[in-house]
Amino acid sequence: MADIYGHKPRGPLGVMKAFRWSLLGIRAAWLHESSFRLEAVMALLLAPAAFWIADSPVELVLLIGSLLIVLAAELLNSAVEAVIERYGPEYHELAGRAKDMGSAAVFMTLTNAGVTWIAIAAM
């Protein structure tokens, strides 16, 4: 990812900057997105349970991975919504469609997480 001047940091410095930008994005989501906060808290509460429920490393990865995918989808959905809101409050069909699809993506990952947790817990 380039900085505001279009420069692309390379090597360890580039990795450190990318990591910092990622943390800034997570912080922004935490501060401004109630859905992200709720899903993050649920992930933090469920993650320890994954160690108890899982009978194998694969199950553990599936349980925790399903939670992380929900958070990633919520971050992307929030990014889409932020860009749309940047252009103003007036309604546009494509903007509404984009927001609905972002919400649907989060719903699909939540469904995936639920199915994964139920399937593994029921075994």
Task: Give the domain range for residue 14.
Answer: 1-32
Domain CATH for 70: 1.10.287.3610
Are residues 63 and 42 part of one domain? yes
Q: What is the pLDDT of residue 56?
A: 98
Q: What is the pLDDT of residue 6?
A: 67
Report the predicted TM-score, pTM, of the whole model to 2 decimal places: 0.87
* Active-site entry in 39, 74, 85, 93: 74
Are residues 89 and 54 part of one domain? yes
Q: What is the pLDDT of residue 3?
A: 62
Q: What is the pLDDT of residue 50?
A: 98
Active site residue 74: yes
Are residues 117 and 102 part of one domain? yes
Are residues 45 and 13 part of one domain? no
Q: For the chain, list residues with pLDDT below 50.
A: none
DSSP secondary structure code for residue 2 in this structure = -
How far is residue 9 from each of residues 13, 20, 23, 33, 57, measured CA to CA in Å?
6, 13, 17, 29, 36
Are residues 61 and 10 part of one domain? no
Q: What is the pLDDT of residue 88?
A: 83
